[in-house]
Amino acid sequence: MIEYESLILFAIPWIVYRTIVFAFKKPFSIKTEFIKALFYFSIIFIYCLTIFPFPFYVYPYEKGNAFQLMNLIPFASIYGSLTHFYYMVPLRNIGGNILLFMPLGFAIPLRYKVNKLWKVMLIGLFISFTVEVVQLFISIRSFDVDDLILNTLGTIMGLIVYRLFILVTKSAKQKETIDLMSKT
């Protein structure tokens, strides 16, 4: 589970930084600040959940060299999760990896005006790959190619949610404009 103290440790520098920026840059936009914070905290959320080990029990056969534990076979751990006897394993592994990167897929086009699928997908893949490489050096974590697949899928799904959000807000604005024009 996420340690709330670690989130607070990342929130305080963000608040101090944005306060200093605001002091020197007078125009203040809540929308802009929200977009920047969404991107920043989606990265911090990913970092907190993937780099800091979960307090789950580590089975003795899972301890060892991270290079021995790595999975380079696509869909191997996904298949293992789906065939596991306990329903929470696929939910936590597959669903968790996808949900973890969805906020990032939503935040990238908001923050950087990047709306092309392949660009957002590459950014999500790069961030996921970076996390997986860092996990090689953490004793109870390991590199898993399936995490790359699921995290990238989560980034794509976040982009899809973003595009749906834009469609809904545009159609609501158009409907409001049409309603206003018909009343006059």
Mean pLDDT (whole number) for 22-47: 85
For residue 39, pLDDT over 60 is answered with yes
What is the per-residue pLDDT across 48-103, written as a single tens digit (0 to 9) for each? 888 765 554 444 445 556 566 788 999 999 999 999 888 888 888 999 999 999 99
CB contact at 8 A, 160 and 120: no
What distance lies between CA 137 and its chain's CA centroid? 21
Q: What is the dihedral of CA 176, 102, 47, 76, to 10 degrees?
A: 180
Q: What is the pLDDT of residue 128?
A: 96
Nearest Cα residue to 133 out of 145, 122, 124, 121: 145
For residue 45, what are the contacts with CB-CB under 8 A and spacing of at least 6?
Answer: 2, 100, 103
Give the separation between CA 125 and CA 44, rounded to whole angstroms.
16
Domain that holds residue 101: 4-183
Number of independent structural domains in the chain: 1
Whole-structure pTM value: 0.80
In this predicted model, which residue has the larger pLDDT, 18 or 157? 157
pLDDT at res. 86: 86
Q: Tell me, what's the pLDDT at 12?
A: 84
pLDDT for position 60: 47
What pLDDT does 65 receive? Answer: 62
Q: Which pLDDT score is estimated for 28? A: 77
Q: Which amino acid is at 94?
A: I
pLDDT at 115 over 80: yes
